[in-house]
Amino acid sequence: MQSRRGWIACACLGLACSAPPSYIGPANVEAGAARDASPSTSTACTDLANAQCAELESCSPVLLQTRYGSVATCESRLTASCEHALAASSTGNSAQRAEACAQAYPTWSCLAYLGGVDLPAACTPPTGALAIGAGGAFAAQCTTGFCAIPPHSACGTCATAPQAGDTCANISSCGASLECLSGSKVCGTLGTAGAICGKTEPCGAHLSCIGASAANPKGTCQPSATVVGSACDPTLTKGPGCDFDSALVCNGQSKSCEPLTISPGGGPCNVEDHQFTACAASGTCSTSDAGATGTCTTAAADGSPCSTTGVGPGCIPPARCISASTDPTNGICQDDGATSCP
């Protein structure tokens, strides 16, 4: 089992994250100092989004492509999401905090970033004015610094942040420092090198869970192969897989690492020639049979119909598929904050 996580969704300050500020010449020192002391929402959110997208592109270009399709799309969407967050009532967020996080973001190492740990201090989520039980859409609105939002709901309620081992079956996030482990649906952290792993205990970035099998469900996290042509084991029982963050996949026929193919909407995916093919920009692979060649369905635009089951179009982050109680399998793509929460 290989981890394909590699993406931190708006963890810092409940937002997104910055490129270095423009050069300030000697004649503009005072104006520059004022800007740094009190940046506008637009400036801070642009900086913050640029930093997060730059980090993602640097640490895992393949995840940037499969999530957003391009840097420009990543930046524009995360900038808008940041502006929604800063406009939320009762929030503890501010443009100053967003800018501080933007400047600190490049110090986050790729390994920690992809593992969702060691968040820079300047990016620690702030707390807001809403008490436990109050409705909200952002963690920074809550006195606890955590908002429990069901996976396909626009709003949640302020609550105590989950601890490692708590269930995440009914929430969309475990908070800033924990991952919702897909196999077990409990909050935890991804395995480091040498850690015990399995279906419910995935490994972190650049690692494969080697040795797990039907007879022995536990393996150990070991380095994935990172070079094209390297030997790999598609079953991961005796050898490593290929590093997904390096855009490599294991060809089950040749048992060697090959470049990952990323298809646009309408293109093929899960190709039958033993070569995994992914969809770009959060596209969904529609196929009737496991392992058969499918077709990439383009993600829905914001405000358009989407599927919560994975059989129809999904949404480009940070938008989520928000469903109505009358039809939990379908919904509308929308960003957090687009709906007023009681």
Residue 341 lies in a domain: no
Domain-ending residue, one of 118, 138, 164: 118
Residue 207 lies in a domain: yes
Do 91 and 15 have their domain in common?
Answer: yes
Q: Would you state the pLDDT for residue 272?
A: 63
Residue 340 lies in a domain: no
Do 324 and 230 have their domain in common?
Answer: yes
Domain-ending residue, one of 169, 190, 211: 190
- Coil, helix or strand at residue 242: strand
Q: Cβ of 220: how many Cβ atoms within 10 Å? A: 18
Chain length of the chain: 342
Residue 281 tokens, joined: 């920009």
- Burial of 280 per CB tally in 10 Å (0-12, 13-18, 19+): buried
In the chain, what is the straight-line distance between the N-terminal and C-terminal CA atoms, in Å? 41
d(CA 243, CA 82): 31
Q: Would you state the pLDDT for residue 21?
A: 30
Q: Would you state the pLDDT for residue 289?
A: 65
**Cis peptide bond N-terminal to 39, omega within 30:** no
Residue 342 lies in a domain: no
pLDDT in tens, the chain (342 residues): 333 333 343 444 554 333 333 323 333 333 344 445 689 999 999 999 999 999 999 999 999 999 999 999 999 999 999 999 999 999 999 999 999 999 999 999 999 999 988 999 999 989 999 999 999 999 999 999 999 999 999 999 999 999 999 999 999 999 988 999 988 999 999 999 999 999 889 999 999 999 988 888 899 999 999 999 999 999 999 999 999 999 999 998 899 999 999 999 999 988 665 668 899 999 998 875 666 788 999 999 999 999 998 888 999 999 999 998 778 899 999 998 888 887
* Segment (H or E) for 181: strand 179-181
The Cα angle at residue 312 between residues 309 and 316, in degrees rounded to 5: 90
Q: How many domains does the chain have?
A: 3
Q: Would you state the pLDDT for residue 6?
A: 33
Q: Are 320 and 152 in contact (CB under 8 A)?
A: yes
- Give 93's contacts (C-beta < 8 A, 6+ positions apart): 13, 14, 15, 85, 86, 126, 128, 138, 140
Q: Would you state the pLDDT for residue 125?
A: 86
Do 224 and 328 have their domain in common?
Answer: yes
Residue 87, domain extent: 1-22+29-118
Sign of CA dihedral 139, 68, 62, 270: positive
Residue 36 lies in a domain: yes
- Burial of 281 per CB tally in 10 Å (0-12, 13-18, 19+): buried
Nearest Cα to Cα of residue 205 among 187, 218, 217, 223: 223
Q: Are 265 and 283 in contact (CB under 8 A)?
A: yes
Do 182 and 246 have their domain in common?
Answer: no
d(CA 192, CA 300): 35
Do 149 and 185 have their domain in common?
Answer: yes
Token pair 């808008």 in the structure block, residue: 80
Phi-psi category of 291—alpha, beta or left, where left has phi over 0 and alpha has psi -120 to 50? left
Do 232 and 148 have their domain in common?
Answer: no
Backbone angles phi and psi of 126, in degrees to 5: -80, 175
Q: Would you state the pLDDT for residue 38?
A: 82
Residue 339 lies in a domain: no
Do 222 and 297 have their domain in common?
Answer: yes
Do 293 and 313 have their domain in common?
Answer: yes
Backbone angles phi and psi of 159, in degrees to 5: -150, 170
Q: Would you state the pLDDT for residue 16?
A: 35
Q: Would you state the pLDDT for residue 37?
A: 62
Do 90 and 3 have their domain in common?
Answer: yes
Domain-ending residue, one of 171, 190, 209: 190
